[in-house]
Homo-oligomer: A and B are copies of this chain.
Amino acid sequence: MLIVMQSQASEDKIQKVIDFIKQRGFDAHISRGEDHTVIGCVGRKIIDKRDIELLDGVKEVIRITSPYKLVSRVFKPDDTIIEVNGVKFGGTHIGMIAGPCSVETYEQMDVTAEKLYKSGVRILRGGAFKPRTSPYAFQGLGEEGLKILRKVADKYNMAFTSEVMEVNQIPMFLKYVDILQVGARNMQNFNLLKSLGEVRKPIMLKRGLSATIEEWLMSAEYIMSGGNREVILCERGIRTFENMTRNTLDISAIPVVQKISHLPVIVDPSHATGLRDKVAPMSKAAVAAGADGLVIEVHNNPECALCDGAQSLYPEEFAELFKDLKALAAVVKKTF
């Protein structure tokens, strides 16, 4: 930590700051500039920088060690590659996940899965427990949904992912799912993250609507610090003032995260934009920018979907898009 003193700070004030940090177990390195004296605060203890900022004569306190450890490239320089059912996320590999927003019936999942399988998809998605803004909206089929997903996935030799909403649900999810998804609204549900650290299946961690990249990585740190090293980060749009799209898909988060962290980062263009005709361009943008995977909503009959049909692709649209994405991947030297 670096403590920048005000330009007119007296020797007395400087000494008091030094005493303060020494009492708390830190060493002090003093460096005098033309305008400002800077005190390097060296040590392994944890201290709230604002506590120092409130001392007399202090202009600013600057943290210089990153708050994340296990998620960082400093800790692990090579890309983490996560493999599920033969599909790889990370490095030069782009993984594809597709399926409807919600599981509605066995027939719906069966028809959709068959078509997706033929397009080359090997990991399904589908919500069984749905976080809905309104208590009066469809809340999902619950465990019955997970059973349907498992049955259909097995029929086509596919894996699947579904969103877990609560610590209590984890044992049930472990019976069925291949990847546990943490939704945007639960990105800072720290109890859930801690419990998922003890799981030994991959976690797909969605970025919160207003989460900074640093906070998102800290949430991954929670999971990793529990011992689970398989975290897939998923960008799904952030909240901004613009309201022509549901959220603003932060495509630049892809290269930013890839520089700081070794974890794979994938993109959900369906929830980010909320509109079917924006899914294809944003999927292409994600792949061109170097994304390690995509999660795309596809429904066999979007007009009748119980949830988010408006942002779901028709299976035929998806098949067409998947071809284009493979061609784009080749240009950026990656493969699905």
Contact = CB atoms under 8 A, between A and B. Distances in A.
A308 interface: yes
Interface string A30-48: 0111111010101110101
A188 B133 contact: yes
Chain A interface residue bracket vs B: 35 or more
Interface in A152-179: 165-168
B242 A213 contact: yes
A319 interface: no
A275 interface: yes
Given A185-B189, A278-B256, A65 B46 contact: no
A122 interface: no
A272 interface: yes
Interface in A1-49: 2, 4, 6-8, 29, 31-36, 38, 40, 42-44, 46, 48
A53 interface: yes
A146 B6 CA distance: 42
Contacts of A84: none
A327 interface: yes
Given A238-B242, A287-B288, A332-B284, A48 B256 contact: no
A40 B29 contact: no
A332 B251 CA distance: 18
Contact of A256 (B4, B190, B244): B244
Contact of A273 (B29, B74, B252, B305): B252
Contacts of A282: 251-252, 255, 289
Nearest to A221: B135
A67 interface: yes
A310 B54 contact: yes
A50 B165 contact: no
A255 to B, nearest CB: 4
A132 B188 CA distance: 9
A13 B25 CA distance: 31
A252 B331 CA distance: 21
Interface of A: 2, 4, 6-8, 29, 31-36, 38, 40, 42-44, 46, 48, 50-51, 53-54, 59-60, 62, 64-65, 67, 74, 131-138, 165-168, 185-186, 188-191, 193-194, 208-210, 212-215, 218, 221-222, 225-226, 238-245, 248-256, 259, 272-278, 281-282, 284-290, 302-303, 305, 307-311, 324, 327-328, 331-332
Given A167-B168, A281-B289, A285-B286, 18 more contacts: A31-B31, A35-B64, A50-B309, A62-B62, A67-B133, A167-B167, A168-B168, A210-B239, A212-B241, A239-B241, A240-B240, A251-B285, A252-B272, A252-B273, A282-B289, A284-B331, A288-B328, A328-B331
